[in-house]
Structure 1
């Protein structure tokens, strides 16, 4: 099967294309190459968010994302123009995020939230996670972008780098 990719709060598994196949097993490598050779393919994944944990806010540069809730319950947030809209999801619900839409998924019940995800690309999925954005941007730049004092951004865990 596909390798598990743990993250704080959950586990991700996927069948995806990788430009450089490093770290892919034989089956994953064959599937990766097949995805990239055919038009109109989907990258598929399972996302397990542990009970009462958060899948970090992020967005995809090159794909729409659609998900189907297999088990558990959760909350989805979509951030548009600085305003967050959120709604609850449960078994059988379908969610959709257009390319470039910042979003998050959170488990809100006593069991893990499990989703089947599909991304509208056979290319390598390009994702920006907010933790990576904030972690790689200087605190004085963040202060200017968000109209806050620089000291506010020194409080975050990555500030000690």
Structure 2
């Protein structure tokens, strides 16, 4: 049983990112997917996991403005974004991140990746290869054969 957590942009990610997520879910033997129940990557990941028969757990934000309101198998109580993201990490064995650009301080996705690293939860940052190399999510991603950065 592998519990996968996802974090990502509020903007939908391209199909190549979703294809990478599908491969990861299969390779890791995912049985449960934890997401933040927001529009964008969370909603896309939920739909993908549900279509694959993977149990979904939503960790909704307190602020409903960007919420996707997905019909997850289990829905946690709404929390402030930072607390919700930390709970996703705490309940996951592996994190898949799909940010919309390079690492920056004021980004919930990148804050979640940094928290996962600090708490030693392994994961991967999926690079959007539809962008030019200088827009990749990290300097070393452009040189990585899969276009993604494991941590």
Q: Same fold (TM over 0.5)?
A: no
Q: Relative to total residues, which structure has the larger strand share, 1 or 2?
A: 1
Higher alpha-carbon Rg = 1
